[in-house]
Amino acid sequence: MKHRLNRRQFGLGVAATGAIVVAPGPIRAVQAATPIKIGSLLPRSGYEALIGQGCQRSVEVAKKLLPDMGYAFEIIDADTESKPEVARTQAEKLIREGANILVGAFDSGQTFAIAQVAEQNGVPFVINIGSDPAITEQGYKFVFRNFPTSIMLGTNGLSRFNDLFKATGATPKTAVLMHVNDTFGQSMLKGINALMPKLNLPFEIVETIAYDPQAKDLSIEVAKAKAAKADIHMVVTRLNDAILMTREMVKQRYEPMGVISPGSPGMYQTQFLKVLGKYAEYAITNVPWLDPRQQFAQTFEAAFKKAYPDEICDIDAGFTFEGILICADAHKRAGSTKAEALVEALKATNIKDRVMLGGAIAFNEKGQNVNLPSAGVQNRNGKPTVVLPAENAELKPVFPVPGWSRRG
Amino acid sequence: MRSRRFPIVQRRAAAALALFVAAMLALPFFVNGYIVSVLVVVLFAAYFGQAWNIVTGFAGQLSLGHALYVGLGAYISAALFTHYGVPPWIGMLAGVVIAALVGGIIAALSFRFRVGGVYFALLTIAFAEFTRILFDHFNWVGAASGLFLPVSSLARTDVLLLRGSPVMFYYLLLGLTLGALALCHDLLRRRIGYYWQAIREDEEAAQALGIDVFRYKVAAMALSAAMTSVGGAFLAFYENNLYPDTVFAVGRSIEIITAPIIGGLGTLFGPILGAVVLTTLGEAMTSLSSGFTVNGLKQWCYGAALLLIVALQPAGLWPWLRARLGLGAVRR
Amino acid sequence: MLYLNIIIAGLLTGAVYGLMALGLSVIFGVIRIVNFAHGEMMVVGMYAAYLIAVNTGLDPVAALPLVTAGLFLLGYALQRGLINRYIARPEHEQFLLLLAIATIITASLLMGFGPDARSVPLDYAYDSFQLGPLLLDKVRVLAAVGAVLGVVALWGFFRLTRTGKAIRACADNQVGAQVVGLDIKRLYAVTFGLGAACVGAAGCLMLLLIDVQPYIATDYTLLAFIIVILGGLGSMPGALLGGALVGVTEALSGFAVDPSLKSAFSFALLILVLLVRPQGLLGRA
């Protein structure tokens, strides 16, 4: 039977069309209120699973906290399985599933793969954690990073050393540097070697010791470090090796003025503090951290603590949360989920109320946020605490640190 | 009459192959980017599997360190491109030469010293691991920091410089895989193929018959290494970043051999079928478990699938499937 | 003096490596099957010791008999039920079977325990003895003593008990053993069980030294192979010697050259031994 438009239907149609034409305001509001689909990629299985699952906790907190602040978004979670090939296919999959923006991915190799997919498909990508400088040097238009490059980490981390010595009046003359021999460790090493002459640090590195990231036993390395008889012990580690190394230092009775990291994971992480107990105290890591003076940081930390009372709200937690915040904020300002609009909004990002230490979140022409200073974070009373810079500190730094045998 | 020269089974097999090739050629037009990227993974697995199949499936020498040749091919072509601008197709040749030499030397040393079977397998692992650690300290290729290829505007498709979208790589790899299939098919029908199979079945008897066992075993290894390195070069230009710990890893060597073993060691189509089955299984698992994360479930199912194959169909899935489809085996 | 400390540390660690590798040597020497799931079995032992420690407060060394017995049963069942059928099959099938088992074990551990590294808090974990100029780590000494005792016990078993002698007979001459009336299947199962028990004991001791997580297994399987080939497949003192050699080489090369090249030296040593003397230093030609 042929469908014939009857008078009532025609009338209704005219009315509807009229309504839409006459009222563009509410319709546009509907479009802006269309939640943005954020594709979140993290290594939740595979050898980086521990970190990935930790970061995922922040994503969960973001899902609950941010909508109350007026952001409209939906997060699609994906697992990169700690492998670049999987990161690539999962990024493609997220885009097929309608992700308007991607965020991730902790590991530089996986992040690089995702960046390529994002760039190829014209989908914006916000890097929450990933320090390889090369990623923002490729001339990508769709990639933005809110995390320091290893060069920035090295520079900012090393300059905190001077602040530490000034604040405590103790000045070491020599240092031994122990670093993990992987991508991260080597790029930090390069950075440190390049920066040492430029930063006027009072000490010189007398011995550099590289070790295998898979090492189960660091007794040889620590023995070598002890034999160097340096004043301070500088480290670039990951988590398990930090634990192994500290244990060996205690066993071998190696007591430098302090153990300081110019910007690497390990010594501030939950597992480190839990396993080593009193021997984890006084370790210093110079790394971006949550700003104790920022209201938003306190709100976020409280929400995080409530959901995960046994976990430390650390740098990874903070930056993962900021990654989601940046995506949601760009969407709010753009008023659209279209890629071009989002990219323009991202370029204009200027978030003052943030979680991490530093000025407002903003990106330079390469898509990199260059304003991410390192705080001096010292383990005190079982919690990593900001001790530098003085304006943001919660406690005064302790240096030189008490010997192992004198730990309460 | 023609039908006597080309028995029904062979005609059917040829028709099936033609159908398969046509389907693979047409596929990218019908599926989205995600599926294409998954298919690229399948083709890499299929190609590496075919290369490995030559030394282990045809000649019977178990090599567990094939990641070595992937790495050599990848690093050499990538380093030449990054440092001297050498186009990948030429850099690939350098990789082939070096990989063939390395494979040949490893084989020659081992077989000259009568290291065979399990010991040979362990030797291949040792060489791969040694090279991995060496590259971790090799500054010219970026050492442990990794080697990054300069990535130009990705909208461009440049076959000469291997810059382009997954679809371009899909077709290149498809060509490579089909080329390998043709090569293996040809080799099996030649004297060298028969010698290899004889060596595999009973090395002493082959020796007694006058076959220069040493020479053919080394040749198998050299060819397999060379072919693998070509795949490695493509891998470098597809992924655009290389780290020794992922490229030379034992895990990769093991990944390379699972597809051909599941598909059917020593068969022509086995590695391709194995690659398809394994990757599909992997992606299916990822999709199924995307709602909830049970860490390790995917690996568990993977292991269970391997166990089932070994227990029920140790010759691999392809011989079974081939019989089912009536494509028969005129020869293995 | 410093070098002496390093060498001793290497020897102590090597002793535990030796016990771990011993299980592999026994299995291959008798059954001639290459156990690629060796590291995984040790990790199972480590988790078992961890569970016992966490739930009962029992020190891993005290839990050793329990874990060893448990792993013996596991090995026995595995061999009898599954692996036995593959003894005569081609190498790549055996390899794939054990690879599948290894994958399932690692995945199960990952599902059960998660990826975090676990360790047992010991009150004596940070103690060390001072013997003149030598600084000895108490835990390492304890682990080494345990390992040597384990090796001696196994050696005693093979030399002095009936079953032990029967197993050696099987290894020497399988056909002859059957003619004499020995139950090959049962003996193979016992052997695999013993190998598993060895590696379980090594796991308990290893837990004193390192943290356990599902992914460390492959490294230890490789290490076990290096040690066994160095010392000689099927030779018990060889396993200890191989362990000591690897422990000391890693220690010295790490100290004198570059710690991140430690493993490269071990692999180079393996390649050398395989080419020059594939039966190992103490193996039978």
In this prediction the ipTM stands at 0.84
Confidence band for A25, pLDDT divided at 50, 70 and 90: very low
In chain C, what are the domain boundaries?
Answer: 2-216
What does the DSSP 8-state code read for residue B139? G
Placement of tokens 């323009």 in the chain:
A344
Q: State the amino acid at position A34 in one-letter form.
A: T
C-alpha distances (whole Å) from A316 to each of A53, A135, B131 are 11, 19, 34
Confidence band for B7, pLDDT divided at 50, 70 and 90: low
What is the model's pLDDT at position A27? 43
**CA-to-CA distance for A78 and A52, rounded, in angstroms?**
11
Higher local confidence (pLDDT), A78 or B241? A78
Residue ranges of chain B whose CB lies within 8 Å of a chain C CB: 56, 62, 64, 109-110, 113-115, 117-119, 121-123, 125-127, 129-130, 133-134, 136-137, 250-251, 254, 258, 261, 265, 294-300, 302-304, 306-307, 309-311, 314
C-alpha distances (whole Å) from A262 to each of A202, A245, B269, C12 are 15, 16, 54, 34
For the segment B50-61, the average pLDDT, to the nearest whole number, is 92
Confidence band for B136, pLDDT divided at 50, 70 and 90: confident
CB contact under 8 Å between B290 and A49, yes or no, is no
Query: Chain B residue with minimal CA distance to A78?
Result: B290
Placement of tokens 């929400």 in the chain:
A303
CB contact under 8 Å between B154 and A113, yes or no, is no
For the segment B218-244, the average pLDDT, to the nearest whole number, is 93
What is the model's pLDDT at position B293? 60
Q: What is the CA radius of gyration of chain B?
A: 20
Confidence band for B290, pLDDT divided at 50, 70 and 90: low
Chain C positions touching A211 (Cβ under 8 A) are 259-260
Whole-number percent of chain A with pLDDT over 70: 92
The alpha carbon of residue C255 is apart from the nearest alpha carbon of chain B, in Å, by 17
The CATH number that domain B2-324 falls under is 1.10.3470
If DSSP codes are grouped into helix, strand and coil, which group holds residue A128? coil
The alpha carbon of residue A250 is apart from the nearest alpha carbon of chain C, in Å, by 6
Segments of chain C scoring below 50 in pLDDT: none
B231 touches B48 (CB < 8 A):
yes
> Which run of H or E residues covers position A78?
strand A73-79
Q: What is the pTM of this model?
A: 0.84
Confidence band for A33, pLDDT divided at 50, 70 and 90: low
Lowest pLDDT segment from A130-144, A316-330, B82-96: A130-144
Instruction: Evaluate if residue B299 carries a pLDDT over 60.
Output: yes
Confidence band for A342, pLDDT divided at 50, 70 and 90: very high
B56, B127, B254: residue with CB nearest C99: B254
Helix and strand totals (H; E) in chain C: 11, 2
What is the model's pLDDT at position A9? 52
A45 touches A78 (CB < 8 A):
no
The alpha carbon of residue A34 is apart from the nearest alpha carbon of chain C, in Å, by 37
C-alpha distances (whole Å) from B99 to each of B66, B104, B178, B193 are 10, 8, 22, 21
In chain B, what are the domain boundaries?
Answer: 2-324
B34, B155, B293: residue with CB nearest A44: B293
Under 8 Å CB pairs connecting chains A and B tally to: 77
Whole-number percent of chain A with pLDDT over 90: 58
The rounded mean pLDDT for chain A is 87
What is the model's pLDDT at position A22? 46
The rounded mean pLDDT for chain C is 86
**CA-to-CA distance for A338 and A123, rounded, in angstroms?**
9
Q: What one-character-per-residue DSSP string does B140-193 give?
A: GGTGGG-EEPPP--TT--BTTTTBS-HHHHHHHHHHHHHHHHHHHHHHHHSHHH
**CA-to-CA distance for B259 and B276, rounded, in angstroms?**
8
Q: What one-character-per-residue DSSP string does B12-72 give?
A: HHHHHHHHHHHHHHHGGGTS-HHHHHHHHHHHHHHHHHHHHHIIIIIS----S-THHHHHH
pLDDT tens sequence across A237-284: 998 889 989 988 998 889 999 999 999 999 999 889 988 889 999 999
What is the model's pLDDT at position A8? 53
CB contact under 8 Å between C276 and B113, yes or no, is yes
Instruction: Evaluate if residue B94 carries a pLDDT over 50.
Output: yes
**CA-to-CA distance for A83 and B252, rounded, in angstroms?**
11
Expressed in angstroms, the distance from the first to the final Cα of chain B is: 26
- Domains present along chain A, CATH in parentheses: 35-147+292-347 (3.40.50.2300), 151-290+375-406 (3.40.50.2300)
**Residue B329, by phi and psi: left (phi above 0), alpha (psi -120 to 50) or beta?**
beta
Instruction: Evaluate if residue A129 carries a pLDDT over 90.
Output: yes
Alpha helices in A214-314 (DSSP H): 219-227, 239-251, 270-276, 295-307
